[in-house]
Structure 1
Amino acid sequence: MVTAEARVGNASEAEFCFEAEQCLLFDLICETDDYQVRHYDSVKWVSTDEKSFFMEIAAIRAFRRLFNYISSGNKNGNKIEMTAPVVVKFEKKKRFWESCTYTMSFLLPAEFQKNPPQPTDSKVYIHETPDINVYVKSFGGWMTAFEEQKQSKALCGTLDSIGAKYEKEYHFAAGYNSPMTMFNRHNEVWFAVQGDPVCPPNGES
């Protein structure tokens, strides 16, 4: 059994997180037909930044770097199990033709949350996210730049229509599946809540 540490552990409460032994756990605050509001505790990640015009190119480079870290490319030589989700932070582009810095992060397993091994690659680093509430929209298929933009715009439209306050300078995309998985794929876009989250009255969806 995996003991939860900093809300990292067995994914029994998240039916879509079935490919990894350990997943990022959350508390569901409320949900509607269009989005969920979740609370995530503070957790540690291993991350890397990659600047590119194209998300797909940045993702390939960043993934290789992080995969090397968990495959013993760290100062302790530890082999670290893959977790879920893989999260990518998107900066807001000022102009559509500009390049963008994408930050990809692998969640560190429970046993490495307190004392993660340090990376050997100078482009890879450990960081900790604070407690956070996020608006979440889920979708299937593949995490392409086109689909991510479509889903994030749809969520923004929903949030704007209800007067929700959220972080607009960046957002996150989360993927839960191996590149080899062909069916039942699960992806999400997250926007950080500002102030109190907007939930349906009386828990109604």
Structure 2
Amino acid sequence: MDRGGCQMSGGGGGGGGGDGSGPDRSGMITLEDLESFSEDQLSDSGNGSLEEAGEIMEEDEESDRLLHYWQDVARGHQVEVSQDMAEPIQLLTSNNQGRSPREHIPFTLLTRKEKCGELLYEKRHYEKGHWACITMREDTYEQSICYGFMRIMRYICQQNSLGHYLGMTLPIITVVRTDENQSVISHEITVAYYLPAEHQAQPPQPNDNEIIIEIWPASVVYTRAFTGPTNEVTIINQINAMAELLDCPEVCVNDSFIVAGYTNPAHSNRQNEIWFLERR
């Protein structure tokens, strides 16, 4: 991985929560929370009997309330959600309400290591594919992933050469770089989004010139699940824990790792995986 790139390659390193009843101020909301909140609490009637003007007004109000919800939660992470995020948030929410199912990045499971019935880690093979990537350098890891994810969201939600919603894939991944001792994380991180299957052959181009479409080569990764917030401390802890579990950690890149997120960045009970890349 070179600086500014984020290829899933083993060649070396270089790149709110809550129960749906209201904002959890300890972390950003998940996609599931957004869907529940918008459907059950943001709609005033939902009976389809309003006139067109009233429906437009209701949609605008819902969009504003979703935006304010994101803004309220994000402040706890020193992240500002700008007004121009209202439309991407609304599009992502509405499209995730069963109308546009989220794809999971395809992989082939190679092996699983278990101990006393507990899964320690998996070894997977990911095929070559197109990814939309943006490299960020904010003051904290949380700020970098949140701002990077919001810019990727804009690309997914119409700010692309096709001008329409592309579809959500999971996980959203973050490439982190460390020193060789795996004790310090670089402030420079890369947020990446795997293009849905229908767009793999001809990826739509981003309007944001800092988002780069890259072809990542086929890769083998060792992956372990963990929950909770992701920050510099928790990531270093997860890297060290994974290194202790591997039989031969030297077969993996030792200064570049991937955090795979299945819920929105910085959510307090975020569902994550740490990925080690096998050297090519």
For Structure 1 versus Structure 2, the TM-score category normalised by the shorter chain is 0.7 to 0.9
For the pair 1:89 / 2:175, whether they are aligned, the reply is yes
Deviation string 1:168-188 (CA, Å, 9 cap, x unpaired) is 1211000112469776x5210
**2:132 is the counterpart of 1:46:** yes
Cα displacement (A) at 1:71: 1.0
Q: Which residue of 2 aligns with 1:169?
A: 255
2:88 maps to: none
Give secondary structure in 1 for the equivalent of 2:260. strand
Q: Which residue of 2 aligns with 1:190?
A: 275
Distance 1:55 1:97 in 2: 12
SS in 2 for 1:100: coil
Query: What's the offset of the Cα at 1:155?
Result: 0.7
The Cα offsets for residues 19-76 of structure 1, whole Å up to 9 and x where unpaired, read as: 8521112111111132211111111111100013421011111111111111111122
Report 1:151-166 matches (<5 A). 151-159=238-246, 162=248, 164-166=250-252
Correspondence list, 1:72-111, <5 A:
72-93=158-179, 99-111=186-198
The CA deviation string for residues 76-100 of structure 1, in whole angstroms up to 9 with x for no partner, is 2121111100000011247977852
- Matched residue SS, 2:137: strand
Provide the TM-score with structure 2 as the length reference.
Answer: 0.57
Task: State the alpha-carbon separation in 2 of the partners of residues 162 and 49 from structure 1.
Answer: 30
Question: Which residue of the other structure, out of 98, 103, 108, is the alignment partner of 1:27?
Answer: 108
| Paired amino acid for 1:194 | R
Determine helix, strand or coil for the equivalent of 2:253: coil
Please identify, of 105-114 and 171-180, the stretch whose mean Cα deviation from structure 2 is larger.
171-180
Q: Larger C-alpha radius of gyration, 1 or 2?
A: 2
Number of aligned residue pairs: 176
Query: Which of 216, 219, 226 is matched with 1:129 structurally?
Result: 216
How many percent identity over aligned positions?
27
The CA RMSD measured in Å over matched residues stands at 2.6
Partner Cα separation in structure 1 for residue 140 and residue 266 of structure 2:
21
Partner of 2:228: 141
CA distance in 1 between partners of 2:279 and 2:172 (Å): 23
Q: How has the CA–CA distance of structure 1 residues 45 and 157 changed in structure 2, closer, same or farther, with 3 Å as cutoff? A: same
- Which one has the bigger helix percentage? 2
Consecutive aligned runs of 4 or more in structure 1 exceeding 3 Å deviation: 93-99, 161-164, 178-183
- Residue identity matched to 2:175: K
Distance 1:152 1:55 in 2: 15
> Compared with structure 1, are the counterparts of its residues 138 and 118 closer, same or farther at alpha carbon in structure 2 (3 Å cutoff)?
same
Name the aligned partner's letter for residue 127 of structure 2: D
Match of 1:64 in 2: 150
Q: SS state of the match for residue 32, structure 1?
A: strand
Gaps of 5+ in 2: 1-31, 33-95, 115-119
Instruction: State whether residues 224 and 275 of structure 2, in contact with CA within 8 Å, keep that contact through their aligned partners in structure 1.
Output: yes
CA deviation after TM superposition for structure 1 residue 114, in Å:
0.6
Task: In structure 1, list runs of 5 or more residues that go unmatched.
Answer: 1-17, 196-205
